[in-house]
Amino acid sequence: MATGAEQTGGGFPVDPLHQFVVQPLIPLNIGGLDASFTNASLWMVVTVVAVTLFTTLGMRSGAMVPGRMQSVVESFYTFIANMVRDNAGHDAMKFFPFIFSLFAFIFFANMIGMFPYAFTVTSHIVVTFALAAVVFVGVTLTGFALHGVKFLKVFVPSGVPVALLPLVVAIEVISYFSRPISHSVRLFANMLAGHIMLKVFAGFVLTFMTMGAVGYLGMILPLFMIVCLTALEFLVAALQAYVFTILTCMYLHDALHPGH
């Protein structure tokens, strides 16, 4: 909000994109690799620490009859375990730690991003694409490792007339390779758009505030919108983490059981 005070005149009081700027906190260069510890890195570490504290402190007592925190942690665990079992099958449970980490990381990153002044790690395409690429490469390698050449059956849906087969296979191949793109852009765009919208409405509030008495009346609407959008953003934050994870489960299902 301080930026609003600096900028006067015709400019918009808050820069909605400023929240996404990656700023190095500790510049680091290891063997030509830019490993600067940035605000993005900081919030990634915060996310990891938060997940770790959540899952370990909640289970500290390991009670037979769980307390409140332990119930939350256990629900979190069984929720993801059921998601993996239902969508990818029982044999996918060996990937459960990865999928749990993936969901926990995205979920916590999204939620932490809802705090004012926090940086939303998942609002950067490079992060979501890296995660989606790991899933894509991992799933593809798993498929070939388990089924060899038979994994290519994933491109050939059963029960399709031979005449249509070339077309269908082409579509399947394209859809398979566009998976990491849609997978990553969905999460990235949702987080980005939500945060921009919140900032834009906050800007409206500030603009109205500079208008005096009439402005105070006028700012009620955007303020109300911020409240509603915040609630919506919490939903989106949870939902997108869920969507990302469930898609991972479905891709994994394809790798484990190719041929529709």
Partner 1 sequence: MIAEAMAQEPGSELIAETHVPDAEHAGGFPPFDANTFESQIVWLVLSFLALYFLMSRVALPRIATVLEERRDRIADDLDQAAQFKRQTDEAIEAYEKALAEARAKAHEIAQETRDRLHEETERQRLAIEARLAEKISEAEKQIAATKEAALANVRSVAVDVADAIVVQLLGEADRSASERAVDTELK
Which spans of this chain sit near partner 1 (rule: CB under 8 A)?
3, 6-7, 11, 15, 17-18, 20-24, 27-30, 33-38, 40-41, 44-45, 47-48, 51-52, 55-56, 59, 62-64, 66, 70, 73-74, 77-78, 96-98, 100-101, 104-105, 121, 123-127, 130-131, 188, 192
Shortest Cβ 210–partner 1 spacing (Å) = 18
Query: How near is the Cβ of 100 to partner 1 at its closest, in Å?
Result: 6
Q: Which is nearer to partner 1, 65 or 149 (CB)?
A: 65
SS3 of 120, please? coil
Instruction: Provide, rounded to whole angstroms, the least separation between the CB of residue 130 and partner 1.
Output: 6
Both structure tokens of 168: 């269908």
205 by Cβ neighbours in 10 Å (0-12 / 13-18 / 19+) ranks as buried
Distance CA 125, CA 191 (A): 10
String of b and e for 213-232 (b: at least 16 CB within 10 Å)?
eeeeebbeebeebbeebeee
CA–CA distances in Å: residue 98 to residues 5, 44, 50, 104: 45, 17, 17, 10
Q: How far is the CB of 251 from partner 1 (least distance, A)?
A: 18
Task: Give the pair of three-digit tokens for residue 216.
Answer: 């105070």
CB of 141 to partner 1, least distance (A): 17
Complex with partner 1: residue 126 or 231, whichever CB lies closer: 126
Residue closer to partner 1 by CB (options 22, 211) is: 22
- What are the beta bridge partners of residue 38? 24
Q: How far, in Å, CA of 130 to CA of 105, rounded?
A: 13
**For partner 1, which is the closer residue by CB, 73 or 225?**
73
Nearer to partner 1 by Cβ, of 124 and 186: the residue is 124
Residue 111 CB neighbour total at 10 angstroms = 18
Compute the least distance from the CB of residue 221 to partner 1, in Å.
Answer: 26
Q: Which is nearer to partner 1, 47 or 240 (CB)?
A: 47
Q: How many helices (H) and strands (E) does the chain have?
A: 8, 4
